[in-house]
């Protein structure tokens, strides 16, 4: 008898477990226990990897749990900001994932390392153009020509505009310029955004700095962190090649240093209609001087040294490559490469005081926001309070976003670095949907304001013509007609795009020339 009971005991135990699992309180208790056990194991792994581990539910930016449902929007109350709040639904109500999918480190590592082939969008195929610069340097433009299942989509739009009639596609699709991080890495996050942009009718093109992204280095120097001269020539090339197409730009991570420098350097003469920065680095010097988590720091430093070692022979004529490869921080590499701190004019090593002066002077000409008051196109910045790769949210220049009519900030409580995973969506990032919808809403707003101003100008012209129909005003009317023709002829020759300047309640499309 006891033998029979012992034989039936495993089956009875499994039956009892199955019954208990169907009981709702037991199932909920078991799920909570598993989540807590997983959370403890993850904290232990972060401790071993020296990664910061905020407590579950902790808010690093001072926002309460009630504010977690929507991002904190920081901007000046303008007509454009009001229009975005009304029509950009993705920006107002993000459904960001909770832990564990919403863990900042898991999101960051996923955006940097997760294979694109495993996503629904598929891998993007690119074709490359090399652009010869005025100083003999070369930069690359990678045009997205199609997806794995839809080859040559972008090429059809460019070569046969009339044949492009797919869903979300238009005869002259807007060009979306992608600027990778300062290391030049085209991350899976950037490729997924390219894939979604192609699906929605944009024409993506990725900008590669000299010596990055397999672009040859023909001059013995790399591009400084915030030097926009190469990008200025690349954007001018895009305008000359597509004169009637809307130009947009989006940066990833530290690539915002280049994009914001370009917008500030060009001012109202920029060819871009709008721009966006995902997980931007707004303070370049602070970013290089902060202590990154070891896992990310050594990975970025190793990749940077690989780039330098590839062109060691060319760079050795201007700098000590051995000392560069021996640096143990990104700041050390940047300082020795661009600040001239290796040797002085007499051939002796520079002192700490001279090195510090060179470092400060370097950032006076390379800080992303050094010319922020000159920016004359709308710029959306998407940031996360738990981003492990940028300075804390308390260092964000919120006064700039509150006072400038062109800067808008959406600050979320979670999202990691270029992560922003959505609940129930494993392949689509909230930042991708928000940026693309932002570009559409801004373009529609600017077109509407342009039509409104044109109709107002026509009404004023009709009034002037009615007054000028009197005999005494014939000469004055002729002078005004000649002045209008001269202005139109000048605009036709210069090919300047429509530019905007915010007034009290309306965009004024006669932007003052600032550069």
d(CA 99, CA 56): 8
Per the domain annotation, does 43 fall within a domain? no
Residues 427 and 461 in one domain: no
- Using the predicted structure, report yes or no on whether residue 231 has a pLDDT greater than 80: yes
Residues 134 and 222 in one domain: yes
Given pLDDT bands bounded at 50, 70 and 90, which one contains residue 88? confident
Per the domain annotation, does 25 fall within a domain? no
Lowest mean pLDDT among 98-107, 223-232, 238-247: 98-107
Q: Last residue of a domain, which of 446, 461, 486?
A: 446
From the candidates 417, 432, 492, 495, give the one annotated as an active-site residue.
417
Let me know if 373 is a catalytic residue: no
| SS3 label, residue 509 | coil
Residues 195 and 255 in one domain: yes
Residue 225 is part of a domain; what is its CATH number? 3.40.50.1820
Per the domain annotation, does 13 fall within a domain? no
Who wins on pLDDT, 150 or 216?
216
Residues 439 and 480 in one domain: no
Residues 363 and 463 in one domain: no
Residues 134 and 161 in one domain: yes
Who wins on pLDDT, 340 or 226?
226
Residues 482 and 431 in one domain: no
d(CA 341, CA 335): 7
Q: Where are the alpha helices (DSSP H) in 242-293?
A: 256-266, 284-289
Residues 480 and 426 in one domain: no
Please tell me the predicted confidence (pLDDT) of residue 263. Answer: 96
- Using the predicted structure, report yes or no on whether residue 94 has a pLDDT greater than 80: no
Residues 440 and 485 in one domain: no
Residues 438-447: pLDDT tens digits?
A: 999 999 998 8
Residues 104 and 155 in one domain: yes
d(CA 306, CA 300): 10
Share of the chain above pLDDT 90, in %: 40
Please, what is the average pLDDT of the chain?
Answer: 78
- Using the predicted structure, report yes or no on whether residue 125 has a pLDDT greater than 60: yes
CA distances from 143 to 12, 149, 428, 458 (A): 64, 17, 22, 40
Please tell me the predicted confidence (pLDDT) of residue 469. Answer: 55
Per the domain annotation, does 301 fall within a domain? yes
Per the domain annotation, does 24 fall within a domain? no
Residues 252-277: pLDDT tens digits?
A: 999 999 999 999 999 989 999 999 99
Given pLDDT bands bounded at 50, 70 and 90, which one contains residue 150? low
Per the domain annotation, does 44 fall within a domain? no
493 upstream amide cis, omega within 30 of 0 = no
Per the domain annotation, does 55 fall within a domain? no
Residues 492 and 391 in one domain: no
Please tell me the predicted confidence (pLDDT) of residue 463. Answer: 63
**Of the candidates 204, 192, 249, the residue with the CA atom closest to the CA atom of residue 428:** 192
Please tell me the predicted confidence (pLDDT) of residue 389. Answer: 93
Give the tokens for residue 296: 């990310």
Per the domain annotation, does 418 fall within a domain? yes
| Residue 170 phi, psi dihedral angles, 5° rounding | -135, 170
- Using the predicted structure, report yes or no on whether residue 420 has a pLDDT greater than 50: yes
Please, what sign has the CA dihedral across residues 350, 355, 361, 366? positive
- Using the predicted structure, report yes or no on whether residue 89 has a pLDDT greater than 70: yes
Contact 149, 166 (CB under 8 A): no
Given pLDDT bands bounded at 50, 70 and 90, which one contains residue 60? very low
Contact 60, 392 (CB under 8 A): yes
Domain that holds residue 461: 452-469+476-508
Count of the separate structural domains present in the chain = 2
Let me know if 387 is a catalytic residue: yes
Residues 339-394: pLDDT tens digits?
A: 864 444 444 555 556 667 789 999 999 999 999 999 999 999 999 998 999 999 88
From the candidates 387, 492, 495, 505, give the one annotated as an active-site residue.
387
Residues 327 and 459 in one domain: no
């Amino acid at each position: 008898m006891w033998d029979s009971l012992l034989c039936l005991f495993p089956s009875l135990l499994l039956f009892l477990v199955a019954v208990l699992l169907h009981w709702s309180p037991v199932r909920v208790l078991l799920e909570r226990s598993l989540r807590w056990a997983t959370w403890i194991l993850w904290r232990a792994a972060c401790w071993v990897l020296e990664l910061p581990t905020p407590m579950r539910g902790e808010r690093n930016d001072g926002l309460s749990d009630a504010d977690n449902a929507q991002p904190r929007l920081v901007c000046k109350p303008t007509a454009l900001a009001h229009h975005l709040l009304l029509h950009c639904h993705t920006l107002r109500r993000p459904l960001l994932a909770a832990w564990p999918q919403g863990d900042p480190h898991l999101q960051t590592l996923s955006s940097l390392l997760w294979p694109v082939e495993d996503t629904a969008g598929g891998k993007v195929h690119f074709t490359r153009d090399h652009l010869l610069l005025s100083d003999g340097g070369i930069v690359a433009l990678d045009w997205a020509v199609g997806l794995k299942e839809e080859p040559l989509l972008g090429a059809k739009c460019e070569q046969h505009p009339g044949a492009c009639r797919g869903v979300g596609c238009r005869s002259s699709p807007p060009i979306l310029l992608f600027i990778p991080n300062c290391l030049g890495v085209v991350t899976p996050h950037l490729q997924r955004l390219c894939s979604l942009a192609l699906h929605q009718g944009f024409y993506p093109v990725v900008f590669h700095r000299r010596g990055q992204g397999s672009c040859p280095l023909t001059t013995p120097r790399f591009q400084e962190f915030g030097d926009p001269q190469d990008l200025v020539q690349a954007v001018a090339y895009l305008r000359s090649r597509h004169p009637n197409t809307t130009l947009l730009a989006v940066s990833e991570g530290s690539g915002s240093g280049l994009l914001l420098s370009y917008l500030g350097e060009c001012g109202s003469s920029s060819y871009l209609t709008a721009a966006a920065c995902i997980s931007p680095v707004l303070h370049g010097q602070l970013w290089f001087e902060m202590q990154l988590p070891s896992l990310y720091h050594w990975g970025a430093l190793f990749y940077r040294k690989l780039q330098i070692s590839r062109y060691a022979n060319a760079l050795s004529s201007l700098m000590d490559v051995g000392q560069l490869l021996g640096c143990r921080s990104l700041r050390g590499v940047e300082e020795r490469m661009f600040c001239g701190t290796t040797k002085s004019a007499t051939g002796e090593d520079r002192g700490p005081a001279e090195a510090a002066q060179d470092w400060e002077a370097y950032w006076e000409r390379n800080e992303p926001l050094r010319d922020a008051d000159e920016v004359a196109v709308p710029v959306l910045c998407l940031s996360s309070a738990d981003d492990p790769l940028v300075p804390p949210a308390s260092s964000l220049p919120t006064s700039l976003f509150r006072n400038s009519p062109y800067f808008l900030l959406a600050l979320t409580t979670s999202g990691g670095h270029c992560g922003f995973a959505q609940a129930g969506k494993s392949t689509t990032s909230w930042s991708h949907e928000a940026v693309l919808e932002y570009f559409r809403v801004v373009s529609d707003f600017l077109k509407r304001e342009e039509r409104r101003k044109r109709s107002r100008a026509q009404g004023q012209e009709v009034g002037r013509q009615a007054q000028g129909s009197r005999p005494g005003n014939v000469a004055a009317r002729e002078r005004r007609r000649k002045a209008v023709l001269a202005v139109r002829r000048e605009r036709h020759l210069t090919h300047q795009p429509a530019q905007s300047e915010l007034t009290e309640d309306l965009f004024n499309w006669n932007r003052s020339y600032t550069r």
